[in-house]
Every structure is written in structure tokens, then in C-alpha cells.
Amino acid sequence: MESTAWRRLDSISGHFLPLGEASHVLQPVLLSNGQLKNGEGREAEPVVIGGMVLDIHATPSIPAIPRTTTPGKVNYVLGGVARNVAECMSKLGKNPFIISALGLDMAGNLLLEHWKSAGLSTEGIRKQPDIETAVVSNILDGNGELAAAVASVEAIEKFLTPDWIQQFKCNICSAPLLMVDANLDFPALGASCQIAAMSKIPVWFEPVSVEKSKRIVPVVKNIHFTSPNEDELIAMANALSGGNVYSSVERENSRNKWSVESLFKMLKPAIWVLLESGIRIVVVTLGSDGVFLCSKGGPSFMRIGPRETKQNAPNGQLYETVAKACPSRWFSGAAESERSSHLFAVHFPAPRASVVRLTGAGDCLVGGTLASISVGLDIMQSVAVGIAAAKVAVESETNVPRAFSLDAITADASSCTAVNGYSNNGIQLRNSQYDQNSKSRHREARKLFDEMPQRNVYSWNAIVSAYIKAKDLTQARVLFESASQRDLVTYNSMLSGYVSEDGYEKKALELFRGMQSSEDGIRTDEFSLTTMLNFTAKLAVVSYGRQLHSCMVKTGNFLSGFAVSSLIDMYSKCGCFQDAWRVFSGCSGLIDLVSKNAMVAACCREGELEMAVDLFWKGPEWNDTVSWNTLISGYAQNGYEKEALKLFVLMAENGCKWNEHTLASALSACAGLRSFNHGRELHAFVLKNGLSVNPFISSGIVDVYCKCGNMGYADWVHTAMGIRNSFSITSMIGVIQLKQCEAVFELLSEFMVKEALIPDALILISVLSACAIRAALDPGNQVHAYILRNGIEMDRKLISALVDMYSKCGSIIYAEKIFQRDFDRDSILYNVMIAGYARHGNEHKAIQYFEEMQERGFKPDAVTFLALLSVCSHCGLIELGEQFFYSMTKDYNILPEIDHYACMIDLYGRANALGKAIAFMRKIPTELDAVILGTFLTACRTNGNTELARMAEEKLLQTEGCNGDRYVQLANVYAADGNWDEMGRIRKRMRGKDIKKTAGCSWLYVDNGVHIFTSGDRTHSKSEAIYLTLASLTEELYETAGAI
């Protein structure tokens, strides 16, 4: 039966680091080569700076009675965070050099004598006769938990000064690492970190308490590690953010209501603040829930660089014992998870223990981790040793146990892997070796796999997973079939691989059905079912999704936020928004941040932005980067680009960091607004922060510059990207709006040659769009032939692009043939076909397909009615056009847009009904813009009515006074009526403002090339012959007209 640990790890796979990469990613190379030696030849030891304290532990034997004495037990315990950490390290085989301050009183003498008896150096301890040694009085509850404490630590803050610390500069500079606790005041902290930074010594910051944890702010850039508990983490994040941005997680809720994964989601924004501030590794201690080990970025981010100080190979009894029983990469075979916003995290559950006292557990966890790092163990092994040390501490009466059994520590450290489902056997080392190999190294993994004398189910799972990551699903299936041992993970991996790649839909369905009757005794679980929900969403087959939903309810696999979010996503992508909302509303007890984000995304997908915003601001403290990205993307995709950019700014003001998805959405909004200045500002931010290597961001920048008409910048960014991929090529095909089609084909050829790949559907759709815009039928035919020759799957979008291309290139008959061959039509394809016939003036066919569209259950949208109004306008069908226009709102609840109003004015103008046009304009609920006024001017010209044109003139020039085309349009209205004085006035006004008209331009596709001609252009190599032919044709036309 599958363990709860496996299920927990599966459920948080969206957030936690793939454990196969964990040690490599989180291993700080700062100590990877082991111990150092100082200039005197002594072995260099870690340095610990902070408090040595006498702890008084008072434990009542009955519930405490306020304002009176309560019977119980009082113990004197040697304590202090720095002292406890250092003593723990010493009992694990390291001899740390401690820098602290003591008074020569009873408490000081006790601490000093104990330190001497342990054989540790007291050279760094300042002994002052005129001060009182730090004392902390702890009141414990019946469970050993700290209920309250009073601390008197002035000795540390007053006498542990920068001058004293400077005396031991050589010790710090030769140490493998430095630990400082937050009992130091700001000057002492600053001095300690500055010395360490000079010699590139990594620093571990121990927060001590909520209030003192805030002292990290001025030194954060020099901190490599920190180990806060939940409350200290929140306090540090707020201090670094400059406000109370993050709220504490109540322990009662976090232990009962919230699961570990939910707790991580709530703490993740605060963890991210620390990592973004420069801290390399954050170890969040969770008490009985264990530890979160967190880092930012990939393996290269963790490499600090080689130390100049001389280093020896890792050694020592601690290293040899742990490395043998718990080798490097011991944790690599555990359940794989995915990255989230470049935050890498691993959860170490706490081992079971017979708790006596909890006060020293955190210090021993840090001490065990630091001792292990110091001897050369990797970060994963080190944290495991720290957890093992903490287990011994909670079972002891003292803060630090009197002794550690190395065998027991090693056994407990190794047992951390058992939580992830692994046993200690000879196969494990090989498993971990080739599990490191990912997408680009699967062949090396196969070589190691073939050399293994024995294989277990984890070996087979790892090699199958490696081939799935490499997208070699054929070979992955061969290995799957030949596996001598298969479990649910094997099946789920194969299923997930099929679902994630196009073209394997049938195999995914067959495998899922096979799982239900498998000879391996496999039963589908929540992961299997949610994977198939993604499959259903991909194909938009809601009937199958409903069957899966029913199965999840019957088997109890819907009782998690992960399952709820998958159901919401499936129904939304299948166009069943109401069903998605019912799932969300009916599972209120299971709603977490993931399911909330899924519902916000569904609202945005449906265009219900008000609902999305209401949901977003319910529980705003939950919102993370994904939440903000979802809403920003929703606004941008629904045409509210200005609002999207406002949210983009508000996100930063709320202390939430932008990532590549945020920037991609913001760039999309800039492209939609054609805002060159905003796009350039974002480009500058991207360059400053080294984010230009991200293909999503770079492609977005190219798209902005293309749509803003700055092809020089677009080409420069595209060239600077270096790697040509589908993202960059698709963005660069934005040149189709401004350049020749042949530039698009050159780009496509370059991609195919350099990448040796068949372009994906998105690239081909972009190329077909280029052909449609330039009415280039021949290259469009070539693309169509290329698709057929290479057997590229003709999905709905590609078919729609082909139909659109042929209709715009004048070949409506061929467009009709492709349309008729596709029996699985959707509303988009119908819209394209209706628009095609509208363009060709065939109102009968357009209306026929409009009626057929409704008969097949597709709802017309704003695009459908725009095409219908256009055909009515060109054919002079006033009554039918009015019927369609008013039916939009009355029968289909579609609000008319500017283009619909413009079509109606054009319809009245072409039918010589300017009176109706004026009456219609007066009813338009929005302010008349340049599009509507420009259409009205065209109607005035058609009807020879200069008086009405003069009425619209001022309003039009106020709206678009810098557009030369508008002046020319006005001048032509007066010229058509023979009013040369008015035409001259407009021309003079245009010259006075130094406004230029965009030259008229024509594209002709001849002999496999595009030829561009502008008004009065004579730059073409055959211009003389062309103009002679035109003159001859013009003369012939005049003669023919005269004869008629």
C-alpha cells in the first residue's frame, strides 16, 4: 500500500524541488572540498560568534495558577544559541572556535569551566569582572514547549564588540564557515560579516527570536544560510520588505487545518523574500513537522566559486560514517517534483521521538548541519544529520545531549530516506547516479542502467522517467514494457508523458484503460485521474471529463485542493464555466491557493473579470506570484491591456516579485497597446536583471517592437537571442505586418536548417497569416503542400488559418473545399468561412453558414456579427444589417464594439441614407472615436455632402490630429464636391503642422518574389518598362471608354 509520505510528496509536486537534483542544486560549494588549514598548519575549524547563557528551566507540575506560586521543577541548564550550536558540533567531532563574552560571576564560572572541561578553546571568550553573565529564565508547559521566557543578555550586546571580534580576524578568515547569532548588536554583526566577506567565508545567521531576527537587514547581502522558525521567517521577510506584508501562520491552524503542503504555500512568499535578498539557503524549522530546505535558482546559482584558501579532501569519522551509510545523492531517488518560480524546496519530515524537552532541538539541528557541512558532506546529508541530532536533543534533559552516538546519528540520518520510500540496499547508489541524468543525458543514464548487476522498481522508474524527460516516448514505452518490476509510479510516469506530448492521445487512453485491468495489481490514484483530466482538457471532451469526475467521487480521489483545481481547469477549458464554478462552490472546505488560482484563471478564460477580481481579493494574504500572474494575464488576454499594466505595477507595490511569466504578460499588454515606451522600459528592466536569456521574455520583447513598427530593435533582439526556437521565430514573424513575405520565408528556412526540425503548427499559422495579409497565393500553396508532404497534423487552428489564407488570396473555392473536408468544425472555423464569403460579397453563402453554425450548436460571437454586418454593407442590405445588429444584444447578449458601429455607418453611407447614419450615431453610447468619424467622412464623400463632413471635421482632428491620412481623407471629401478652397485650407493646415501622409503601397507576388510599389515610386529595376505598360493600358482604357 502506498505510504502517506509518497502521497504527500506527490501532492506538493508543483512546489518542491525534484529530489534527483536536490543535492546538486542545494549543495553550496563553499565547503565541497572539505577542511581548511590556516597559516600555522593547524586544522581550520568553524567559528561561532554569539551568546553563552545560563538557562533556568521551570516546568510546573500542575497547570500554572496566575499571580501565585505554582509547584514544579527548576533546572539550571547551560545554554545560549551560539554555545549550544558550538557544543553540538564539538560532540560530532568538530572543535569550533567560539567568540563570546562572560562575566566572572556564578553563571559565568559554570559556563567557562564546562567549556574548559570539554577541551575547547576559551581564547575567544571575553571575561569581564564588572558584567553579569547572560541568563534566560524559561517557563515550560507540561509538554516541554516554551510558554514564556525572560532574557538578560546585556553582557553580549555591550561587550561582544567589533574591537573584540577584530582580534580573531585570522580565525574567521581561515574558517570553513562562520555562524553568528542575532544576540549580537548591529555593529558586531556588521564587523563579523565584513571580515567573513573579505575572505569569502560563508556565513550562517541564526535568528534567536522573532524580535532579534530583524537584525539581519543590514547584513543580509553577506548571509549564505539562515535557519528561522515560522514566526522568525515572517518577521525577517517583513523587515526586509519594509512593512507588515506577511502574516504569521497560527500554529494551531498550521498543525490541524493546514497540511504540510498548504503550510509551505503560505510560507513560500516569505521564503522567496529571503532568497531574493541574497541568502543562498533557507532552512525553515517546523518543529514536529520537520524542515523545509529551500534555495533559489539552478545548480549554477549555487556555485560560489573556488576558495583561494588551501583545502583538503573531505575526511573525519563523521564524514566517513555518514558518507558510507548515507552516500551523496542518497535522497535523489525520491518522488520527483517540479520547479515553481525558480524556488527549489525539499521537505524533511521529523522522525518520531520520545520528547522530554524541546528547547535545544533547533540549536542541535543547526549544529549537526554545520558540523556535517564542515567535514565535506553535501547539504542534503548535512540537514539529515542535523535532524538526527535534533531528535537526540528532544529526548534529553539538557539543551545539548551529554553525548552523541555516531551510529545512532547515522542510522537516523539514513532513515530520512525511508520516509521517501527507500531502503538501504546495494542498488541504491546506482539508482542515485543515473537518476541525476535528465533530458540531455538520458543516454548516459541508460549506460549506467545497463551496467547494473541488479535492478529494482526504483531503477526502472528512474530510467523510464529519464527517457520521458528527453521526450523519447517510444523508447520509454519499450523500457516500460520490458520492466521486470512496475508500480503505480511507473504507470503514472508513462501516462503523464503521453498526455504532455501531442500525437499520443490514443496511447494515453489505452494505457489508462490498461491500468484498471493491470496484471501488476495497479489501482489508479489521484495523480492518475488528474493527469487524465488534463488529457480531457487538452482535447476539450467534456463527456469523458464528467466520467472521470464521477470516478473520482466514487473512489474518494477528489478530497484535495489539487484534485479540485484539476476539475476546475478541465471544465473551464472544455467551455463549461458553470460546472467549474459548481465544483469550486461545492468544495469550499478543500479550497486552497492552487484551486483558488485555477478558478481565477477560469473566470479570466470566460471573460468574467469582475468575478476573477472578487476571488483574487478574497484572502489577499494567500496571493502569490502565480495569483498575480493569472489575473494580469487574464486582463491582457481579454483586451484590457491598460488595466493589466496597472496590476503589474500594483503587484510590485504589494511586495510580490515579478518572474518571467509576469514580464511576458506585461510585454503582451504593451504589444496590444502598441506602447513602444512601456515596452522599452520593460526591455531595460530585463537587460538590467539578466533575464533576456528567457525565450518567453525575449519573444515578448520582439513582439512589442514588431507591433510598434520598430523592426530595427526587433531584429537586434532576435539576433541577440542566439538560439532559434519556436518562440522566437513565431514572434519575429511579426515582420509580416511591416515587411515582405520573403523575409518570413527566409526566417522559416533559417530555423529549419539550423534546428533541423519541422516547424510546429504555431509557426506555420504565422506564415499562413503572412500570406493572407499580402494576398500571396503561391507561397500559401507551398506551405499547404509542405504540411501535406510532411504529414503534419491538421488541427482546427491550422485548418482555420488555411481557409483564411485562401479566402483572402481570392481563392474562395479552395477555401470552401478545405472547409467541407473538416467535419469536426468549431465556431472559429465558421467565423473564418463567413468572413471569407463576406469579403467576396456573397451574402447568401455567408448567411447560409451563419444559420448552419447555429443549427450545430455553436453560439455566434462579436466576430461573427462583424462579418455579417460587413457583407450587408457591401451588398446594400439595410434591413438585414439592422436585423443582425439589434439581434446581437437582444438575442445573444453581445455588446457592440467600435467596429460594429462603424460597419453600420458604412452600411447607411453606401445605401445613401446619411440621415439614418446621423440618427444612429446619436444613439452610440460611447464617445465617437476616429474609426467611427472616419467612416462617416467616407459616407459623406460617397454622398457628396460636404456640410456634414465639415461638422465632423473638428471632432476628427481633435481625436487624431497627428494622423496625415485623416487630413487627406477630409481634403478628398471637398475635392470630390469640387470645393477646391476647402481642400486647399485642409492641405495648408496639414503643412502648417508638418504632418506627412503615409505613402500608398502595393505588394505584388510575381515569379516567387514580392515586389513593393509606393505612390510615385521609380526605384524598381524595371520601373521604366512598368510605367510605359501602365501608360499604354491607360490610353487603351480611355479609347475604349470614348468608343462606348
d(CA 899, CA 935): 10
Which segment of 69-78, 137-146, 406-415, 623-632 scores lowest on mean pLDDT?
Answer: 137-146
pLDDT over threshold 70, residue 925: yes
Which segment of 272-286, 750-764, 854-868 scores lowest on mean pLDDT?
Answer: 750-764
The pLDDT-based confidence of 10 (bands split at 50, 70, 90) is very low
d(CA 970, CA 995): 14
pLDDT over threshold 60, residue 963: no
- Bridge partners, residue 126, by sequence: 101
Domain ranges in the chain?
4-306+313-419, 794-809+820-999, 1003-1043
Helices and strands of the chain, counted as H and E runs: 52, 15
**851 grid coordinates:** 444559420
d(CA 803, CA 808): 9
The pLDDT-based confidence of 365 (bands split at 50, 70, 90) is very high
Which segment of 408-417, 444-453, 493-502 scores lowest on mean pLDDT?
Answer: 444-453
Inter-residue contact 904 to 879 (CB < 8 Å): no
The residue type of 940 is: C
The residue among 167, 209, 170, 204 whose CA lies nearest residue 189 is: 204
d(CA 372, CA 367): 9
- By the 10 Å C-beta count (0-12 exposed, 13-18 middle, 19+ buried), 559 is classed as middle
The residue among 252, 83, 240 whose CA lies nearest residue 153 is: 83
The pLDDT-based confidence of 674 (bands split at 50, 70, 90) is confident
The residue among 774, 772, 773 whose CA lies nearest residue 784 is: 772
From residue 258, how far is each of 264, 706, 800 by CA, in Å? 10, 48, 48
Q: What's the 3-state SS for 178-193? A: EEEECCCCHHHHHHHH
pLDDT at 344: 74
d(CA 423, CA 458): 11
d(CA 251, CA 591): 20
- CA–chain centroid gap for 256, Å, is 29
Q: Which residue has the cell 493546514?
A: 258
Which segment of 120-124, 333-337, 542-546, 906-910 scores lowest on mean pLDDT?
Answer: 333-337
Using one digit for the tens of pLDDT, what is the confidence trace for 573-587? 888 999 999 998 887
pLDDT over threshold 50, residue 431: no
pTM of the model: 0.45
**493 grid coordinates:** 510516469
Inter-residue contact 19 to 331 (CB < 8 Å): yes
DSSP 103-153: ESSHHHHHHHHHHHHTT---TTEEEETTSPPPEEEEEE-TTS-EEEEEEE-
The pLDDT-based confidence of 305 (bands split at 50, 70, 90) is very low
d(CA 567, CA 558): 9
pLDDT over threshold 80, residue 283: yes
d(CA 463, CA 48): 44
Using one digit for the tens of pLDDT, what is the confidence trace for 67-86? 778 888 888 888 889 999 99
**How many Cα atoms sit within 13 Å of 427 on the Cβ side?**
14
Q: Which residue has the cell 565541497?
A: 32
d(CA 560, CA 545): 18
Selected residue with higher pLDDT from 561 and 1037: 1037
Q: Which residue has the cell 568538530?
A: 94
Pairing verdict, β 1009-1014 and 1001-1006: antiparallel
Inter-residue contact 23 to 378 (CB < 8 Å): yes
Percent of the chain with pLDDT over 70: 73
pLDDT over threshold 80, residue 807: yes
Inter-residue contact 421 to 3 (CB < 8 Å): yes
Inter-residue contact 96 to 47 (CB < 8 Å): yes
d(CA 591, CA 565): 8
User: What CATH number matches the domain at 794-809+820-999, 3.40.50.300, 1.25.40.10, 1.10.3720.10, 3.10.450.30?
Assistant: 1.25.40.10
**501 grid coordinates:** 506530448
Helices (H), 299-397: 299-302, 317-325, 361-374, 379-394
4-306+313-419 has CATH 3.20.20.10 classification: no
The residue type of 339 is: R
